[in-house]
Each structure stands twice: as C-alpha cells, then as structure tokens.
A and B are shown apart, each in its own frame.
Chain A
Amino acid sequence: MVEGNEYWNQPLETLDFDTLRELQLRKFRRVYQWVWDKSKLYRGKYEAAGLGRDSIQSWEDIAKVPLLTKDDYRCQGVDPFPYGDSLCVPIEEVTEFHQTSGTTGTPVYQPDTWADWEWWSECWATILWAQGFRPEDRIFIPFGYNIFVAYWAGHYACEKIGCEVVPGGVLGTRERLEKMRELKVNGFMATPTYVLGMAETAQKELGADPKEWGIEKILCAGEPGALISTTKARMEEAWGCGVRDHVGATEVGAWSFECRHRPGGLHVMESMFLVELLALDSDEPVTEPGIPGRIVITSFDRQAQPCVRFDTKDVSMWKDGGCECGRTWRILERGVHGRLDHITKVKGVLFSPVTVEEVVRSFPELEGEFEIVVSKKGDLDNIELTLEMPEVCSEEKQATLLDDLKSQLRFKTQLNFKIKPVEFGSMPRHQIKAKRFHDMRGK
C-alpha cells in the first residue's frame, strides 16, 4: 500500500481524472489571459489567429491557440532589455536570468521572478521526493553553476526538502569525486554521460570502486540516457544504486520525472503543466497510448515569461495504465524518444539516434564516447558511427566486436553503418549535454 509519505503534495499528485481536467482548464484559461494582458508577443499571435481574451472556454478552444516556438522568442525585440515582448512583468521584478544551452540554435533568454524561482524549486522538490530524496540525505551537485538553469533548481529544491546540499561547482571531476567520498554523500545528480564519466574517472584515476561509496540515489537530466535500458543498467552497475530520469527545459520548467517505482517512462506533472501530444506530421492531438507525437507544453504558474503551448519538438507517446506509486498523472512511455529534427529518414528508413545509444551501451566492453554522422555521398545517404574502442583490445577481438556491433545496429535500425574505431579517450567528454548526432545532409 502506498503511504502519504510517498508524495510531496498528495492532493495534487493523486487527483481523480475529472477534477484534474477541470483544474487544468481553469489554469490554462488563467495563464492565457495573463500573457494576453501582459505580453505583446502573445497578444499579437493570438489576435492574428482571431482569438480574443475570453476565447478559452473549453478543451476544444485550447487546440485553437497557436503554438509557440523557440523562434518566436528569438524573433522579438529586446525592449525591455534583454527579454523583449515576451516579458510579462516589470523588468524590476526579474530576479533570475538563465538561458537555454543553444543546442538547437541561438540561446533563448529566460527571466524569472522570485515567485517563479520558488515555483521552479517546488516542481523539482516534487521530483526529488518522488525519487526518494529525503531530509536526512547529503546530496552532491557536480555541476558547473552558471547561466544554464540545469541543477540550480535541483540545488534549491534539495534545500527546500531539507537535504544537506554540497555544491560541486568549478571543481574538476577528480576533485569532485574525492569530495563526494570524503563527505560520504549518499546521492547526486548529473547527465547520464557524466555519471558514467565520473565512474570511469573513479576507477582509473582514484583506483576506487564507486559502488563502495554508499551512493543510494542518482537523478539524471539533460539527456535521454536514464530511460535507455542499457545506459541505465550501466550506470546502476557502476554506482551500485538506482538511477532515475527527469526531463525539463529552461523555457518550460521541470515537467516530468521517473518515480522510484520505475513506471517505464516519465510521469507528467499534470497539476502544474498541460502536456499535449500532437501528430508528427500535423497538429492533430494524439490521446491514444502507443502512438508517437511531438510534445507541446504549457506551464500554468510561471509569471515572468510563461510558455503557452510551447512546441518542444521532442517526441514521445502515452503509456497505457498507471503506476504502483498511486500518482494519477499520466506516463510518457520510455520518456523522450528524441527530437523531431533528429528522428529522420536515412536511406528511406525512419531513424532515431537514441537506438544507437541503446545498442552501443549494450556492449559492456564499449565504455567510451561515440558520435553519429549522416551525410550525402552523391545521391546516397551515408551513416557513420565513430566509436572509442576498449583501452585493451587485440585486433582479433576488435574485429569480432565491430562485427557484432554492426550486426546489432542493422537489426535494430535496418541500416548498414560504416564504423570508424578510434582510440579510447580520444573523443571529448561532456558534462552538460552530449551532442552525438550530426545530420550533415544539405549543409
């Protein structure tokens, strides 16, 4: 039986379906009217679509609201500096600046008021609590605190929960690991790539087995790896504890998480966000489980620059059934499957780079980095995987390994990869977001 202590905010996390839908409609209407009143950017878009301030009366009306994209933020003016027409509060009320990582283009600036910042940490506290973080924990954050929002809110949420939080700021990986061991921390948060990289450094530079350090919980964010079964298994094996995923975005907030009961995907925080799936090739809503759609999100309660129907261009699908945690929030099966602009046809076959990570991480010998490049040779698509080989590997073993890998990749993707083996340690290590897929066609 699930106890009340399972939840950070039980009333919000266990709402019955009808009440939750009614709550979402009320909250959507409120944020719609807020941006209408406060933002030239939004009002301009809505007036152009023939919508008025009171146009949202039903669920059907929500579908008429134009989608917001990163380009909307990029194409507006800069007055008041530097946010422009999307700012919904007087500039003097802004207390936090962050920006997107720029993975998909020019970074977007994100202002927050103090109330927004409290809201960020409240959302993160919901996630951390669901993953088993508790006041008695000592949590290390091996993150280069800077203009990116990632883990800042995690830090504040740890404080809010009552954890003792250790900021691992500008330390190098080795120093971070030494501090974690010295302070006997029992949890930390990082990207999947860095979780694996830290384990590698602990073994190779400190001669230590991180499984013996008493780490009990790891939260991952920033990359899809924690819901790729082979990557998750590798992280859990390296650290000897459970690893849970979380997905958020600077413009949106912290909107989804994997609870400690392993629901096979991400719970969507439906009391704070409206998450819609739209068909990949149209704006038709996807409500049935098992059908891929692109994720569109509204954050209900943010003030300075809320997003209303923001097109994340990420892809996922609804999962059938609930979770033994007892939360009524729906689940996105296997989390985020990839970005719409990364899910592409190669040689006429639909291809997702996440599948390559799943295959590569299923080979225990392959501990290093990799990169996928799709290019054109004449009229033909060419797909190449550059991959670090094991540190110690005979020619014979390498040939067998590459044959097996190629065969698995063909089985999973229906594509023949050209594989380029490189020396272990020769590719860059990533601490924030690993960018392993490059589509060079048309460039």
Chain B
Amino acid sequence: MSANVDMKELYAALEETGKVLDRVEETGGSIKSVERNVRRMRGTLRTMMIHFEDLAALEGK
C-alpha cells in the first residue's frame, strides 16, 4: 500500500513534529505571533496526521 514509504516511521515523524510545536509554544507562547502561528501549523500538521494515522495502525496488521 505504501509506495515504498514506512507508514509507522512517517507517522512517528509527524508525532515528533507535534512535540516540537509543543516546545515552541511552551517557550514562546506568550508572544501572540508565536502562539497563533503554532496553532496554524498544528492545523496543517493535522491534515497529514489524519491521512497517515490509520495507515500506520493498519500496516503490518
């Protein structure tokens, strides 16, 4: 199914990205621009996570 992409690894990388965004928000969230841009980036990140979350779970089942 995966076009030579390891879905579990891809999804893990997306989760890591989410954790990096957490860190950015924790560090600079008191700056409005940081807070709002992180929120926007989370929206974009979610678009990829919803695609690959289930594929990662189904891979190798």
Contact = CB atoms under 8 A, between A and B. Distances in A.
A301 B50 CA distance: 7
Contacts of A135: none
A271 B58 CA distance: 13
A9 B2 CA distance: 10
Interface in A1-57: 4, 9-12, 14-16, 19, 22-23, 26-27
B55 A115 contact: no
B5 interface: yes
Nearest to B7: A11
Interface string B22-60: 000000000000000001101110110011101101100
A119 interface: yes
B40 A19 contact: no
A34 B32 CA distance: 29
A23 B43 contact: no
Contact of B51 (A12, A22, A26, A116): A12
Interface string B1-29: 11101010000000000000000000000
A300 B2 CA distance: 21
Nearest to A25: B54
Contacts of B55: 11-12, 23
A67 B40 CA distance: 33
B7 A115 contact: no
* Most chain B C-beta atoms within 10 Å of own C-beta, residue among A9, A114, A117: A114
A10 B40 CA distance: 26
Contact of B2 (A11, A22, A115, A301): A11
A115 B42 contact: yes
Contacts of A4: 3
Interface string A264-303: 0000000100000000000000000000000000001100
Given A4-B3, A10-B3, A11-B2, A27 B54 contact: yes
B14 to A, nearest CB: 14
Contacts of B2: 11
A119 B1 contact: no
Interface in A280-339: 300-301
Nearest to B2: A11
A131 interface: no
A113 B50 CA distance: 15
A15 B43 contact: no
A114 B39 contact: yes
A137 interface: no
B54 A115 contact: no
Nearest to A301: B50
Nearest to B46: A115
B50 to A, nearest CB: 5
A9 B51 contact: yes
B58 A119 contact: no
B44 A118 contact: yes
* Most chain A C-beta atoms within 10 Å of own C-beta, residue among B39, B50, B52: B50
Q: Closest 5 CB pairs between A and B?
A: A115-B43, A114-B43, A10-B3, A118-B47, A115-B46
Interface of A: 4, 9-12, 14-16, 19, 22-23, 26-27, 113-119, 122, 271, 300-301
21 contacts: A4-B3, A10-B3, A11-B3, A11-B5, A11-B55, A12-B51, A14-B3, A19-B1, A19-B58, A23-B54, A23-B55, A23-B58, A26-B57, A26-B58, A115-B43, A115-B44, A116-B43, A118-B43, A118-B44, A122-B47, A271-B51
